[in-house]
Chain A
């Protein structure tokens, strides 16, 4: 056991370092001392539970109440234990650039995305609640392990990163607190010695997201989360690729993650282009790289402490991420699981490989290869050189219309034609696209899906499923869907209605709800809808 004297000596030694150290309050009578901070955080979390946003849903309220009760119990236990033993708990204030800059970048994403998809703003109070929970949990965990707590902005990027990819619906919000707890426990307990330092293996947010993603896939319970909506609504914000690219440059500049993010993006661009050239159809449905993946490769996979240290290692790490996402997209699709998990599942596995990657790179005997990214070649400014290459690649891709522009895969008639021509995966993509639009309340798409299941040509015949889709189409007033529902022998089809076109022509992110009908038909004609060309 560490003696009190030793702990005091340790405390005074740490206070002489660069970090600001708050000294424990003298133990005179009853005083919470440094425990005031977690206590205040718990009170703040309890106060948040009283806000209308939390009170609006009973289970959400009980989730917050449960979190408060859990933290309070832990707090009282730890406090009493310290009182009995005379031990003190302390923290040091360290404001790390990678935490607050990353957090600011993430907040800018929420602000921009939320402006075009309001549920993000509605979720803001719940993010605040998670941050309060995370600080308290992390602090109590460190103090339970008799460690000094490092107070800074650390929990911000973890919580903001988790919520950029997955959040549970109000009725299951207690799972969100468990996911956060798991992330912080993973950071505290799942560690290894790396280059002489005891560091966590996994990116905390990616670890929690990866594990929960796996459970959600295996239990087929994705519908308990907003995962699918989060992945698909990012593109509602106009020019989202350019926006993510620009904020990505900030992160790249400060934290030298250009090799990881840039190589991951370049790999995905290259693989998509290769697939398109050989198969004749785009690999991803609505872009060369889905916007959520583009976000992930800037803000999820680039944690410097869980990625390789060597330049060539970072390059390999980025390429591996690109290949993993590419492979997982097909694998998840083949398993019938939602494909948006592709960007989440790869990260923990890659985190496990960083030592191996660094060791492999260091075992290379070729000096030329090892020095390929040598800092000296760029006058000591290698990162700026890497960023220049990335800027060039992004501008090139944008110039070729591979980022924010219209994408071939956005056109439903293209996939219908491709399916008819029996191009690889085209029919699966068509059904996937129709499913997405049906979920977005396109009555036409629901009727088309129903017809697919009734005909049984490109999917297995399933009349019960067909009826479900016809019912959905009918509830959206699509007369053909109603007639198909009435008569099992009918295959009634009809061109998309006005509201359908406003959904089907969004090209991923456009809001066409207010556009004049003429403009809508022009756009539909550009998308190869023959009936629209006749209406111009």
Chain B
């Protein structure tokens, strides 16, 4: 053995103590290194297992466990809104609660907008539905978003996270035999699953008769969760008279749209303009925390895309782009 080998092995070390021996020391060091390596490499799998523990696979009455917990009916809760024209914005002569930003232009109180037919979901997206998306993708979200009754609308999520959900759902529905034929046909024809534009949302909320609330023009607390203290399960308020039979188009949670907040007149063609401005997206419908004037169908709120708030959620549409 040459000099350097003996140096490295510590042979000839006259000051080496007897116990615990160098073998014990090296063993302890090896254990630490292997433990650290094992523990760190398991970090990602731990987060996956946490996710899988969350996989409660809730079976909520009225929701289809096999179809991403969407409503258990022929169109998975989607309701077709027929093509046609509708009146957008408010007329302060008819609606005393109208805000200034609901006015169409200096010359015109309301405007007329033509839309193609599209599908909108009857309910707001629930915690249970959103949880499936989180479990499937591993997306990092505020844990508060998944807390609470799974049948209540999801909230405390950002605008991009809502968009990510719609993209995930589209990916699933395009590749699943569970997707009802009319919806599949629409998707194959080029429609996409997304948030509604504010025009789509407003038409779905008030039809073409220009009503103030989804159920008509008279204020009532019978059909909506507002001026209250918290979210309620989607569909809690039965509202046969509401436009297209949709639920919670007034109150429960604000609903984000894919339209940037900009002054009327509404024109979907100018959505890609003014890129230098900070992004701000329209939200509609008011929430459980709002008073009656804010749950009118023409009210336009703005949401910063990075904001998470317990009063803000969304619903999805299948619409031509």
How far apart are the CA atoms of A146 and B41 in the complex, in Å?
37
* Chain A residue nearest in CB terms to B26: A189
Scan residues 188-237 of chain A and give those whose CB is less than 8 A from a CB of chain B. 188-189, 191-194, 198, 201, 211-212, 215-216, 218-221, 224
Pairs across A and B, CB under 8 Å, 27 listed: A144-B20, A182-B29, A185-B29, A189-B29, A191-B13, A198-B13, A198-B15, A198-B16, A215-B40, A216-B40, A219-B37, A219-B41, A220-B44, A221-B40, A221-B41, A355-B7, A359-B4, A467-B167, A470-B160, A471-B160, A474-B279, A475-B160, A475-B306, A478-B278, A479-B277, A482-B305, A486-B163
Residue of B nearest to A189 (CB): B25
Q: Quick check: is A477 within 8 A (CB to CB) of the other chain? A: yes
**Residue A186 at the chain B interface, CB threshold 8 Å:** yes
* Chain B residues with CB below 8 A from A526, complex form: none
Contact B276 A494 (CB under 8 A): yes
Known: A189-B25, A192-B8. 7 other contacts (CB 8 A): A175-B36, A182-B29, A185-B29, A192-B7, A215-B40, A219-B37, A475-B160
Binary interface profile of B, 193-225, with partner A (CB < 8 Å = 1, else 0)? 010000000000000000000000000000000
Contact bitstring B156-180, A, C-beta under 8 A = 1, else 0: 0011110110010000000000000
Say how far A314's CB is from chain B's closest CB, in angstroms: 20
Best-surrounded residue of A2, A198, A492 (most CB of chain B within 10 A): A198
Shortest distance from the beta carbon of A461 to any chain B beta carbon, whole Å? 17
A145 and chain B: residue at smallest CB distance: B17
Query: Is B276 a contact partner of A477 (Cβ separation < 8 A)?
Result: no
B14: A residues at CB distance < 8 A: 198
Tell me whether B272 and A467 are in contact (CB under 8 A): no
Complex Cα gap A220–B41 (Å): 8
CA distance A310 to B257 in the complex (A): 72
Contact of B13 among A146, A193, A495 (CB under 8 A): A193
* A182, B167: Cβ atoms closer than 8 Å: no
Report if A363 contacts B (CB, 8 A).
no
Number of residues of chain B lying within 8 A (CB) of chain A = 53
In whole angstroms, what is the CA distance A389 to B286 when docked? 72
Within 8 A of B (CB), among A449-482: 467, 470-472, 474-482
Task: Looking at the assembled complex, report how far the CB atom of A355 sits from the nearest CB atom of chain B, in whole angstroms.
Answer: 6
Closest 7 CB pairs of A and B: A189-B25, A471-B160, A475-B306, A145-B17, A479-B279, A219-B40, A494-B275
Q: Determine which residue in B4, B17, B276, B279 has the highest number of CB atoms from chain A within 10 A of its CB, and name it.
A: B279
Cβ A495 vs Cβ B276 within 8 A: yes
Contact flags A279-311 to B (C-beta < 8 A → 1, else 0): 000000000000000000000000000000000
Report Cα–Cα, A476/B44, bound state, in Å. Answer: 27
Closest CB in chain B relative to A400 CB, distance in Å: 39
Docked-complex contact A215 and B37, CB < 8 angstroms: yes
- Contact residues in A for B25 (Cβ distance below 8 Å): 185, 188-189
B28 interfacial by beta-carbon distance below 8 Å: yes
Question: In the assembled complex, which residues on chain B have CB atoms less than 8 Å from the CB atom of A186?
Answer: 29
How far is the CB of A503 from the nearest CB of chain B, in Å? 16
CA distance A185 to B29 in the complex (A): 7
A474-503 interface bits toward B, Cβ cutoff 8 Å, 1 = contact, 0 = none: 111111111101110010101101000000
Give complex CA distance A185, B33 in Å: 12
Contacts of B277 in A (CB 8 A): 479
- Given A145-B19, A221-B43, CB of A178 within 8 Å of CB of B32: yes
A485:B160 contact, CB within 8 angstroms = yes
Report whether A477 and B278 are in contact in the complex, using a CB–CB cutoff of 8 Å: yes
Whether, in the assembled complex, B53 has its beta carbon less than 8 Å from a beta carbon of chain A, the answer is: no
Tell which of B16, B33, B43, B164 touches A224, judged by Cβ atoms closer than 8 Å.
Answer: B43
Q: Give every chain B residue within 8 A of A359 (Cβ-Cβ).
A: 4
A474 touches B37 (CB 8 A): no
Whether A147 is near chain B, meaning CB under 8 Å from some CB there, is: yes
Bound Cα distance from A487 to B163, whole angstroms:
10
B298 to chain A, nearest CB (A): 24
**For chain A residues 421-471, which have a beta carbon within 8 Å of chain B?**
467, 470-471
Across the interface, name the chain A residue whose C-beta is closest to B158. A475
A189 touches B22 (CB 8 A): yes
A237 to B208, CA, bound (A): 62
Identify A471's interface contact among B8, B41, B163, B281, CB under 8 A. B163
Closest B residue by C-beta to A489: B321
CB-CB under 8 A from A480, the residues of chain B are 275
User: B37, A218: Cβ atoms under 8 Å?
Assistant: yes
* Nearest chain B CB to A334 CB, angstrom units: 22
How far, in angstroms, from A220 to B47 measured CA to CA in the complex? Answer: 14
- Min distance, Cβ A57 to any Cβ of chain B, angstroms: 16
**Within 8 Å of chain B (Cβ to Cβ): is A372?**
no
- Residue interface mask B86-130, A partner, CB < 8 A = 1: 000000000000000000000000000000000000000000000
Flag if A474 contacts B160 (CB, 8 Å): yes
Contact residues in B for A475 (Cβ distance below 8 Å): 158-160, 305-306
Task: Evaluate whether A487 and B4 lie within 8 angstroms (CB atoms) in the complex, with A188-B25, A224-B40 already known.
Answer: no
Query: Could you say which residues of chain B place their CB within 8 Å of the CB of A495?
Result: 276
**Closest chain A residue, CB of each to CB of B273:** A479
B260 at the interface (CB under 8 A from A): yes
A146 touches B18 (CB 8 A): yes
Of B12, B13, B28, B305, the residue contacting A477 (CB under 8 A) is: B305
- Select which of B22, B36, B41, B159 is within 8 A of A474 by beta carbon: B159
For the complex, is B149 an interface residue (Cβ under 8 Å from A)? no
Flag whether B73 is at the interface (Cβ < 8 A). no
B160→A146 contact, CB < 8 A: no
Q: Which of A146, A201, A224 contacts B17 (CB 8 A)?
A: A146
Residues of A within 8 A of B194 (CB): 486
A201, chain B: closest CB distance, angstroms: 8
Bound CA span A472–B271, Å: 20
B279 touches A486 (CB 8 A): no
Complex CA distance for A186 and B271, rounded to whole angstroms: 63
What's the Cα separation between A475 and B280 when bound, in Å?
A: 10
Asked if A82 is at the interface (CB within 8 A of a chain B CB), the reply is no
Give chain B nearest CB distance to A371 CB in angstroms: 25
In Å, the complex CA distance between A2 and B44 comes to 50
B273-317 to A contact mask, C-beta < 8 Å, 1/0: 011111111000000000000000000000011100000000000
Q: How far is the CB of B43 from chain A (nearest CB, A)?
A: 6
| Chain A contacts for B304, CB-based, 8 A | 477
Residues of B near A194 (CB, < 8 A) are 7
A490 to B305, CA, bound (A): 19
Answer whether residue B10 sits at the interface, using C-beta atoms and an 8 A cutoff.
yes
Pick from A1, A193, A485, A490: contact of B12, CB below 8 A: A193
Q: Please measure, in the bound complex, the distance between the C-alpha atom of A192 and the C-alpha atom of B6, giving whole angstroms.
A: 8
Chain B residues with Cβ under 8 A from A356's Cβ? 4
Contact B43 A219 (CB under 8 A): yes
The answer, yes or no, to whether B258 is at the interface (CB within 8 Å) is: yes
Specify which chain A residues have a CB less than 8 angstroms from the CB of B16 in the assembled complex: 198
Question: Does B306 lie within 8 Å of A477, measured CB to CB?
Answer: yes
Chain A residue numbers with a CB within 8 Å of B8 are 192, 201
For the complex, what is the distance from the CA of A478 to the CA of B304, rounded to whole Å?
10
Please tell me if A244 contacts chain B, counting CB pairs below 8 Å.
no
Determine which of A146, A182, A220, A482 lies in contact with B32 in the assembled complex, contact meaning CB atoms within 8 Å. Answer: A182
Q: Which residues on the A side are within 8 Å of B39 (C-beta)?
A: 175
A181 at the interface (CB under 8 A from B): yes
Cα(A472)–Cα(B139), bound, Å: 12
List B contacts of A189 (CB < 8 A).
22, 25-26, 29
Report chain A residues within 8 Å CB of B36.
175, 178, 212, 215
